[in-house]
């Protein structure tokens, strides 16, 4: 089974924290859409398995797609690949795009999962992030989606906000739970270079909270979601039983995927490709049948490090049997040697013959994982 990701590189406005590839100018919209349609056909043989278990429209803001393009992409994928009857088909959306008419369109176009970019239920935080919706729309969009028949919903929240306190963050999480969403993704605010947020931090216009405050908010999130019967199945993801993201889980499991659109990445098990992050170059190169991507072959060391990095972000951890089967006894033994000190202080544990990071240490996962890399 494989997955397909489509990157829609357009937004109404730029969020202050975002460093994903997108444009607020619409002049390249149709050339990019036409080029993406071509790319689906041209990349038909990239995946060894044409059985598709999930399709994900990301961005950017996919909820800005015109009806003909949304339906066209799904039809083209179904014609080109063997899409499972129960495939998870996700569309990322802004709350202010979720009108009754758009929800009806998404439903009729076979979208069966919505990822709503809520980020916060407080106007002050939304304004600081330069989001295009307000707090009332954050709530009402979720209820409209539920009324339209979307049961499989996920929302994004951001913690570690400047000026944010425990009371505000608690209210954000409790509001999410009260709205009866079955899945939640929560991320600590990250200052990416060359973003508006980075400039505001550098100038002293805003001050980020301390690491201890961010950790307290993360721990509160873990406690509240656990009480509400969410499984914390990956560092940033919490789901009710049966509502874990199939698409994202395939990434963490190392399942091959095809990326369509400017800046999209692809992985087929042994090599990685990434498309140019330039809308004009992307459409021009595709029309001229010039390479619109770069690629690299992954050696055994890189494949091992990727397996460790993605697996240890999840509750399942990494199977020691799989390490032994894929990379051999010598590498499995070296992994256990490298893990020994952290096993002794319980920053790593072994359960069901899998190496795992306990939830209470997940915010330190990058440092823990780095010490296990094959260097």
Evaluate if pTM is beyond 0.75: yes
Give the pLDDT of residue 357. Answer: 98
Asked whether 318 and 308 are in contact (CB, 8 A), the reply is yes
d(CA 198, CA 33): 31
**Per-residue pLDDT tens over the stretch 285-324:** 999 999 999 999 999 999 999 999 999 999 999 999 999 9
CA torsion angle for 51, 55, 59, 63 (degrees, to 10)?
A: 150
Work out the burial of residue 196: count CB atoms within 10 Å of its CB; fewer than 13 is exposed, 13-18 middle, 19 or more buried.
middle
DSSP 319: E
Per residue in 77-113, pLDDT (tens digit) is 999 999 999 999 999 999 999 999 999 999 999 999 9
Confidence (pLDDT) at 274: 98
Task: Report the C-alpha dihedral over residues 176, 139, 8, 241, rounded to 10 degrees.
Answer: 30
Q: What residue ranges in the chain does DSSP mark as E strands?
A: 2-8, 51-59, 82-93, 113-119, 153-159, 183-188, 231-234, 237-239, 257-260, 265-267, 271-275, 293-297, 318-319, 349-351, 354-356
**Are the beta carbons of 54 and 89 closer than 8 angstroms?**
yes
Rounded percentage of the chain residues whose pLDDT exceeds 90: 97
The region that residue 283 occupies, defined by phi over 0 for left and psi between -120 and 50 for alpha, beta otherwise, is: alpha
Q: What is the pLDDT of residues 259-269, one digit of tens each?
A: 999 999 999 98
Predicted local confidence at residue 164, as pLDDT: 82
């Amino acid at each position: 089974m494989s997955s397909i990701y489509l990157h829609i590189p357009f937004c109404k406005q730029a969020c202050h924290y975002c460093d994903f590839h997108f444009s607020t100018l619409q002049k390249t919209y149709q050339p990019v859409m036409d080029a993406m349609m071509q790319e689906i056909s041209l990349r038909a043989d990239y995946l060894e398995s044409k059985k598709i278990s999930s399709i994900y429209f990301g961005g950017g803001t996919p909820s800005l797609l015109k009806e003909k393009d949304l339906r066209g992409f799904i039809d083209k994928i179904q014609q080109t690949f063997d899409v499972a009857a129960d495939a998870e088909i996700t569309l990322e959306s802004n709350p202010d795009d979720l009108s009754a008419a758009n929800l009806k369109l998404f439903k009729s176009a076979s979208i069966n999962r919505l990822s709503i970019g809520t980020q916060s239920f407080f106007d002050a935080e939304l304004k600081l992030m330069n989001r295009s919706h307000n707090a009332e729309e954050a709530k009402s969009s979720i209820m409209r989606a539920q009324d339209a028949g979307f049961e499989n919903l996920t929302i994004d929240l951001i913690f570690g906000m400047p000026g944010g306190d425990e009371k505000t963050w608690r209210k954000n999480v409790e509001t999410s739970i009260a709205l009866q969403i079955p899945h939640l993704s929560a991320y600590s605010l990250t200052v990416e270079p060359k973003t508006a947020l980075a400039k505001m931090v550098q100038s002293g216009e805003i001050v980020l909270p301390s690491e201890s405050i961010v950790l307290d908010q993360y721990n509160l999130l873990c406690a509240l979601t656990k009480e509400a019967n969410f499984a914390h199945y990956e560092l940033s993801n919490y789901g009710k039983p049966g509502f874990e993201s199939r698409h994202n889980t395939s990434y963490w499991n190392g399942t091959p995927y095809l990326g369509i659109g400017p800046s999209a990445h692809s992985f087929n098990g042994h090599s990685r490709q990434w498309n140019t992050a330039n809308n004009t170059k992307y459409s021009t190169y595709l029309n001229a049948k010039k390479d619109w991507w770069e690629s690299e072959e992954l050696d055994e060391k890189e494949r091992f490090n990727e397996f460790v990095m993605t697996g240890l972000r999840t509750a399942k951890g990494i199977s020691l049997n799989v390490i032994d089967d894929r990379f051999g006894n010598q590498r499995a033994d070296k992994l256990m040697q490298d893990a020994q000190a952290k096993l002794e202080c319980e920053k790593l544990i072994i359960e069901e013959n899998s190496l795992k990071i306990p939830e209470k240490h997940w915010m330190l996962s990058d440092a823990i994982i780095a010490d296990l890399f094959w260097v």
